[in-house]
């Protein structure tokens, strides 16, 4: 079964995403900060990471850079409130596979996730 790691510190948004993915037969795990995200990725296997850039402790930028410098190649979709085109470009240059700004339609997120899982 496909496992998704949701790195999101906003509890309501994380719960919303979890509920939607589970409804669609996908398993999810939530990490609420950057340290926890990196720990879960070293301890468990996930098929995709949904990464908020504004995470506490270690922000999403740091998580993204650390994962790519370690050679981790799992798909990473940045899900963030930062809608500036420069942030999108920077995230993609640092190794993100996709970029989605908040607020978003769940169907759009699901479509992006499924495209990486198929």
Question: pLDDT in tens for each of the 118 residues of the chain?
Answer: 789 999 999 999 999 999 999 999 999 999 999 999 999 999 999 999 999 999 999 999 999 999 999 999 999 999 999 999 999 999 999 999 999 999 999 999 999 999 999 8
The continuous run of DSSP H or E covering 37 comes out as helix 34-43
**For tokens 């190794």, what's the residue?**
95
Q: pLDDT value at position 118?
A: 81
Q: What is the pTM of this model?
A: 0.97
The continuous run of DSSP H or E covering 48 comes out as strand 48-51
Q: pLDDT value at position 30?
A: 98
28-43 confidence digits (pLDDT tens): 999 999 999 999 999 9
Q: May I ask the CATH architecture of the domain 9-109?
A: 3-Layer(aba) Sandwich (3.40)
- DSSP string computed for 89-117: HHHHHTT-SEEEESS--HHHHHHHHHHHH
Q: pLDDT value at position 1?
A: 74
CA distance 3 to 40: 12
Q: pLDDT value at position 105?
A: 96
What's the gap between Cα 55 and its chain centre? 11
Angle, CA 107 vertex, CA 102 and CA 113 arms, to 5°: 85
Q: pLDDT value at position 81?
A: 95
Q: pLDDT value at position 32?
A: 98
In the chain, domain spans: 9-109
């Amino acid at each position: 079964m496909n496992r998704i790691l949701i790195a999101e510190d906003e509890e309501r948004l994380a719960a919303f995403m979890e509920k939607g993915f589970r409804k669609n037969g996908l398993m999810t795990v939530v990490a609420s900060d950057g340290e926890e995200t990196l720990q879960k990725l070293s301890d468990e296997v996930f098929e995709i990471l949904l990464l908020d850039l504004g995470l506490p402790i270690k922000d999403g930028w740091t998580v993204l850079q650390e994962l790519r410098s370690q050679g981790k190649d799992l798909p990473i979709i940045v899900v963030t409130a930062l809608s500036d085109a420069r942030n999108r470009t920077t995230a993609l240059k640092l190794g993100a596979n996709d970029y989605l700004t908040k607020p978003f339609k769940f169907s759009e997120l699901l479509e992006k996730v499924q495209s990486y899982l198929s």
